Amino acid sequence: MAAMTSPAASRIWLNGRLVPADAAHISVYDRGFQIGDGVFEALRARRGVAIELAGHLARLHSSLASLGFELQFGDDVVAGGIAELLAAESLDGRETDPPGDAAVRITVSRGFDPSRNVKPGDEPHPTVAIQVWPFSPPSDRLLREGQRFVTSSVHRDPDSPMASIKTTSRAEMVYARLEAARAGADDALFITTDGRLTEATTANLVLVTGDTCATPRMGTAILAGTTRAWLMEHGGEAGLTMTEQDLRLDDVWAADEMAVCSSIAGILPIVALDGRPVGGGRPGPRTAALRQVRESWIDRVSREDAHRG
């Protein structure tokens, strides 16, 4: 039997305390394990500062409310757990060069339930886990050559309330990633049942045409991404006018540049869709400018917050 890969960190934060990452953590009767009954958030941390934590926690609470249960800890406890874990893993370096840079995941399941029913019981017993691992930035080659996408055969229902919930049920995304791998592509793009563009498996979508940067509007089966929201506020710093609108495949072929954005990976260029080049078939200058503005902002915010701390 092949050896298991070691965890990326030596500890996790579980229900209020640090425990070894390679220990047994949850029951097989946990509903998160059994049926994916849970939600999560993933974000960057730099210099021990969890970037846009308030926005991520707000979305976490919204997702939990949609599934009908609550976090048993206050936001201050979760924030403290992240800080404690980053420090324990030596990922909170403020004066080091490069500074401590990490990815953070907060996972909340409805918890233990031996009944194995799809219908949840009346009294949830949530499991809350926080993981951190060293942040690995996208390679120079990826930024230089861009990503190739395919459209997934999985079509999103724009009227489904599930589109706005960041659940641990990721089978749809796994299926789409397998489709991409079989086609020799990097990722997949979902389209709605009525032909509108939505998002990638782990990121929101943007199209740049001239000096306009467009992203699918809310209500088209997309997650309310925190980096997407940041772009709407800060895109002007890269000389772009931001807009939310319905987008279709014809808009891709008319665009100069295509990109995806997410909290951890940031803003990444897409150079082809279904084997057809987008724009000039190479990463464009506006995508690079947006990425630079975002990364500079993360560094500035982390410096300011670390100094205040």
| Spatial contact of 79 and 53, defined as CB atoms under 8 Å apart | yes
| Spatial contact of 29 and 99, defined as CB atoms under 8 Å apart | no
| Spatial contact of 24 and 127, defined as CB atoms under 8 Å apart | no
- Structure confidence at residue 4 as a pLDDT band (50, 70, 90): low
- Structure confidence at residue 1 as a pLDDT band (50, 70, 90): very low
- In angstroms, the CA 216 to CA 198 distance is 6
- Structure confidence at residue 309 as a pLDDT band (50, 70, 90): low
Q: How far is CA 4 from CA 1, 7, 9, 26, 38, in A?
A: 9, 9, 14, 19, 25
Give the rounded percent of residues in the chain with a pLDDT score beyond 90.
88
- Give this prediction's pTM: 0.94
Alpha carbon 198 to chain centroid distance? 15
- Structure confidence at residue 6 as a pLDDT band (50, 70, 90): confident
Q: Is residue 3 pLDDT above 60, yes or no?
A: no
Q: Is residue 260 pLDDT above 60, yes or no?
A: yes
DSSP H helices in 191-247: 226-234
- Structure confidence at residue 44 as a pLDDT band (50, 70, 90): very high
Set out the domains of the chain in order of their start, with CATH numbers: 11-134 (3.30.470.10), 140-298 (3.20.10.10)
- In angstroms, the CA 165 to CA 148 distance is 27
Please name which of 80, 18, 16, 11 lies closest in space to residue 48, comparing C-alpha atoms: 80
